[in-house]
Amino acid sequence: MGVRGLQGFVGSACPHTRTAVNFKELAELHRNQHPGCAPTVVVDAMCCLRYWYTPESWVCGGQWREYFAALRDFVKAFTTVGIKLVFFFDGMVEQGKRAVWVRRRLKNNQEIARIFHYIKSHREQPGRNMFFLPSGLAIFTRFALKTLGQETLCSLQEADYEVASYGLQHNCLGILGEDTDYLIYDTCPYFSISELCLDSLDTVMLCREKLCESLELSLADLPLLACLLGNDTVPEGLFESFRFQCLSSYTSARKNSDKRGNVILAVADHISKVLRLHQGEKKLEEMLPLGQNKALFYKGVASYLLPGQTSPWIFQKPIGITTLGKQIVSVSTDPEFKPESLVCTHPESKEETPVCTHPETEQEDPMNVEPEMKQQVTMVSDTEILKVARAQHVQAESYLVYGVMTSGEIECSNTLEDALDQALPSQAFVYRPMRQRVYSLLLGAGGGGASGGPVVREWFVHSGNPLRHPDLVRPLPMNVPGCWPGWCVSRHSSACARKEPLQSTDMMLEHVEPRAVQLDSLLVRDLSMLVLVNSACGFPWSSSDFMPWNVFDGKLFHEKYLQSDRGYTAEVLVEQDRSRLTRFHDLKSIVCKACVREDRHIVSRQHWRPHHSGRWERQGSGSHRTNSGHSRSGRRQHWRDQGPGSRQCEPGWWRRHSPSSGHPDEKGKQQPISLSP
């Protein structure tokens, strides 16, 4: 995230760029300088998630009530001193940054594998040094902040550009986050979330002006420096040999800088003493070894230009950059084209037009999104529907719907799933039929067969998926009279959310069970799928009905799993509550009937015999399983052998290759599903 090596460089070689500040004092100063204008901090929420999540337990699916309370305290600390907060979340992954997204997801897979190895070895949660965000945290944080009355926005691409743009256009007090890209943007001041002390509102401001002073650069040079060092647009390895040449000829290496720090100094020195000599006379491709990467490099430099800003380094604008909500940059091959004519604009800006064009190009109304929608190839052609979906997306009211309707491409990040557990399916497969029905609702089911109808590209992380290509998933037709989907959503709160935060904090687990950890995450992902269903159906249910702080507590769920594994009866598990016991048996009946329809045999994982009040004791050891015959649809492929990539997933595909149908034994038959009583 951000500019490669810049974070460490600022901390070690340029400590004077870091200034201790206090938000309360800054707010007072802002009010004095701008009477009638509330001091506003724009927050890059994705950077802040790991700092907001303060509950001790994280591996069991999340302590959501504690987390909600922590968010409430965070908001209160700022609003008490009169500071307004505006939160931005990543809404979509830009195509040019998909490779970076994939690389991070694969790295996360390795971290998750280490977490499960630790749990199996120690039967406890790893330390904070192995901390991993609970599944669905980003999704539900949006709704938590909206519940707390905060302005919450979802970007139309990665959020950093829109955060920087918002901060500049609205004269904000500053940006709160943890991304060195904010040192590159010429925008309002940048404050560190990692240095924030919530009690005092003290933090550290990272000053881009002082960074420029140290590097002998101007603010307009920083985008060029960022691209030469490597960022999320320009891969770090692209200019490795160029940086080595700069370092070889650099004679002022600092003793207090490591090799990477001296590379930054050397590249900055080359910009200030070599490239600047020919600025305005030669194009960048004449001074730098851009080669076939010229368009990508120009795109990287232009990506830092906010509405109304220009770059003295750009002679030719990059090819074919068109994104909703961001500057739209076209090509100029005109030899008379001058750098000052490059004015990047933004759809939300009232001062500029939403397109970077030549003077003869027709300008568009910045507040009218229809032309943009017509230019973009979308899955849904009705512009009125797209406008509504776009508004709901930007206001962080919906989930995944806008991506399905526009690009037909969605993604889901890592989930705490054990790659070595062959019995449990990944949430990517478990909830695919639900998503397929949503696609049918939004896009139509198509003409049937492998070649007909729309296809949604799913980038869902699961074990064995190298993410080289998206899964191509077709809608699953719904046999429902009329046009309204027959979703079944319980509006009753779960029995696993009745403990107050203090009680849950004090709860001590006997040990941590890896299978329960994955089930924790599976359940939370289920709640996120309900958000998707609700969004696609036009919000027929109150979103509070499936917010995790209202229906789920990770430690409590884990404790109930362990009790069930030890043989506690259903009556004891629901603490003798008759209404919960009735609901439990109703749900169990639904599950059993569904398994019968699918020819999936359910047996108890253990034989039990009565022992004492509410408790059952084991007879013998080991699991008792019997083999079932083949299903109606023949021998089923195990879910982990389904394979990722570009295969087309037709209607009914998942049903034929059900990951939850157990796994084959040595004779090729299906083993039945095993449930604790």
Least confident of 23-27, 266-270, 290-294, 506-510: 506-510
Q: What is the pLDDT of residue 70?
A: 97
Nearest Cα neighbor of 374 from 362, 386, 363, 366 is 386
Segment 16-27 shows an average pLDDT of 96
Helix (H, G, I), strand (E, B) or coil at 204: strand
Asked whether residue 136 is domain-assigned, the answer is no
pLDDT band at 649 (very low <50, low <70, confident <90, very high): low
Q: What is the pLDDT of residue 258?
A: 80
Q: What is the pLDDT of residue 367?
A: 29
Asked whether residue 296 is domain-assigned, the answer is yes
pLDDT band at 480 (very low <50, low <70, confident <90, very high): low
Number of alpha carbons in the 13 Å side-chain half-sphere of residue 128: 6
Helix (H, G, I), strand (E, B) or coil at 489: coil
Say if CB 672 and CB 602 are below 8 A apart: yes
28 has pLDDT over 60: yes
Q: How far apart are CA 483 and CA 536, in angstroms?
A: 13
Segment 471-494 shows an average pLDDT of 62
pLDDT band at 637 (very low <50, low <70, confident <90, very high): very low
User: How far is C-alpha 312 from the chain's CA centre?
Assistant: 34
Q: What contacts 612, CB < 8 A, 6 or more positions away?
A: none
Asked whether residue 302 is domain-assigned, the answer is yes
Nearest Cα neighbor of 256 from 214, 217, 292, 206 is 214
Asked whether residue 265 is domain-assigned, the answer is yes
Q: What is the pLDDT of residue 443?
A: 93
**Selection from 246-255, 572-581, 628-637 with the highest mean pLDDT:** 572-581
Q: How far apart are CA 567 and CA 582, in angstroms?
A: 19
Segment 219-231 shows an average pLDDT of 96
Structure tokens at 416: 């705490």
Counting Cβ atoms within 10 Å, is residue 310 exposed (0-12), middle (13-18) or buried (19+)?
middle
User: How far is C-alpha 390 from the chain's CA centre?
Assistant: 18
In this predicted model, what pLDDT tens digit does every residue of 240-288 receive, in sequence order? 999 999 999 887 766 556 888 899 999 999 999 999 888 877 888 889 9
Average pLDDT, the chain: 80
Segment 297-317 shows an average pLDDT of 87
Q: Is 604 left (phi over 0), alpha (psi -120 to 50) or beta?
A: beta
Count of residues in the chain: 677
Per the structure, the complete domain to which residue 236 belongs is given by 217-315
590 has pLDDT over 80: yes
If one compares 315 and 547, the residue with the highest pLDDT of the two is 547
208: β partners: none
579 has pLDDT over 90: yes
Least confident of 488-492, 504-508, 594-598, 646-650: 488-492
Structure tokens at 60: 């069991």
**For tokens 């609901």, what's the residue?**
583
396 has pLDDT over 70: yes
Q: What is the pLDDT of residue 377?
A: 77
174: β partners: 41
Asked whether residue 393 is domain-assigned, the answer is no
Number of domains in the chain: 1
Asked whether residue 84 is domain-assigned, the answer is no
In the structure, how many helices (H) and strands (E) does the chain have?
Answer: 26, 15
Q: pTM for the complete prediction? A: 0.81
Asked whether residue 59 is domain-assigned, the answer is no
Which phi and psi angles does 338 have, rounded to 5°?
-115, 150
Asked whether residue 144 is domain-assigned, the answer is no
Residue 529 is which amino acid?
Answer: M
Q: What contacts 213, CB < 8 A, 6 or more positions away?
A: none
Q: What is the pLDDT of residue 376?
A: 62
Nearest Cα neighbor of 408 from 383, 385, 442, 371 is 442
Say if CB 79 and CB 87 are below 8 A apart: no
Q: What contacts 396, CB < 8 A, 6 or more positions away?
A: 89, 142, 143, 146, 152, 153, 154
The pLDDT > 70 percentage for the chain reads 74
Q: What is the pLDDT of residue 151?
A: 98
If one compares 189 and 625, the residue with the highest pLDDT of the two is 189
In this predicted model, what pLDDT tens digit does every residue of 408-426 receive, in sequence order? 999 999 999 999 988 889 9
In sign, the C-alpha dihedral spanning 431, 433, 436, 437 is negative
pLDDT band at 604 (very low <50, low <70, confident <90, very high): low
Structure tokens at 330: 């076209």
613 has pLDDT over 60: no
Nearest-10 Cα torsion for 135, 139, 144, 149: 160
CA 36 to each of CA 39, 169, 440: distance values in angstroms, whole numbers, following the listed order: 9, 17, 50
pLDDT band at 173 (very low <50, low <70, confident <90, very high): very high
If one compares 500 and 61, the residue with the highest pLDDT of the two is 61
479 has pLDDT over 80: no
427 has pLDDT over 90: yes
Q: What is the pLDDT of residue 73?
A: 98
